[in-house]
A and B are shown apart, each in its own frame.
Chain A
């Protein structure tokens, strides 16, 4: 079964619009970690954020914000006032305490910001 689901395959927005990327995860562990990565066309995966299962506080970093809700097993990512440089594939990932360092990646959401 897919542990991380990113239902949005591709999203296009016009510059300055806000956009939310959805991530739903599945785990039986009580201790787990959630991540978001950005992969621009150059190919390198860039780490954006890590959240552990005991910390449900939402986080804001500049134009980026993350909404972690255990009740719905979701960890959504919002970009405010999108820019062309935000165009990339975004991956959500999960790691569980009992499987050590292994990451489970979602299938990714390709975001295109149109100028």
Chain B
């Protein structure tokens, strides 16, 4: 099973709303990611969780707040967003290949279908 699920598929929210995006995987992957993708652009990395700990935060504004409750779930809490935050939000997961004290890349990332977010 190489499935990553995301809910909701579409979300429209006002600038004062609070909402959450959810992501789930059951592949036993220990790295999970949030990406933001604007039209005709590649995905931009936002956050990486490795073994349920935040390992990369790409200077994302605090109105985006990630959470990893367990190894299968990843949330992205949204608050006071701006219209320019409208985009496709993609979740992904991958294995983590770990050497002695050093983490190696290499695991292919499996992506969910994304949430199309519109901020009005």
Question: A35 CA to B43 CA in the complex, in Å?
Answer: 14
| B83 interface residue (CB < 8 Å to A) | no
Closest chain B CB from A62 CB (angstroms): 18
Closest chain A CB from B54 CB (angstroms): 13
In A78-115, the 8 Å CB interface with B consists of 91, 95-97, 99-103, 105-108, 110
Does A95 lie within 8 Å of B105, measured CB to CB? yes
| B94 interface residue (CB < 8 Å to A) | yes
Q: Which of B94, B105, B109, B112 contacts A96 (CB 8 A)?
A: B105
- A43-B88, A107-B42 known; A99 vs B113 contact (CB < 8 Å): no
Question: A87 CA to B112 CA in the complex, in Å?
Answer: 20
Q: Which of B31, B55, B94, B116 contacts A43 (CB 8 A)?
A: B116
Does B105 lie within 8 Å of A101, measured CB to CB? yes
Question: A103 CA to B94 CA in the complex, in Å?
Answer: 11
A42 neighbours in B (Cβ, 8 Å): 113
Question: A50 CA to B106 CA in the complex, in Å?
Answer: 8
Does B110 lie within 8 Å of A47, measured CB to CB? yes
Q: Which of B55, B105, B112, B113 contacts A97 (CB 8 A)?
A: B105
B50 neighbours in A (Cβ, 8 Å): 100-101
Does A52 lie within 8 Å of B106, measured CB to CB? yes
| A33 interface residue (CB < 8 Å to B) | yes
A33 neighbours in B (Cβ, 8 Å): 105-106
| B48 interface residue (CB < 8 Å to A) | yes
Does B56 lie within 8 Å of A102, measured CB to CB? yes
Does A97 lie within 8 Å of B104, measured CB to CB? yes
B45 neighbours in A (Cβ, 8 Å): 102-103
Residues on A lying within 8 angstroms of B by beta carbon are 31-33, 35, 37, 42-47, 50, 52, 91, 95-97, 99-103, 105-108, 110
Residues on B lying within 8 angstroms of A by beta carbon are 2, 31, 33, 40-43, 45, 48, 50, 55-56, 88, 90, 92, 94, 96, 102-114, 116
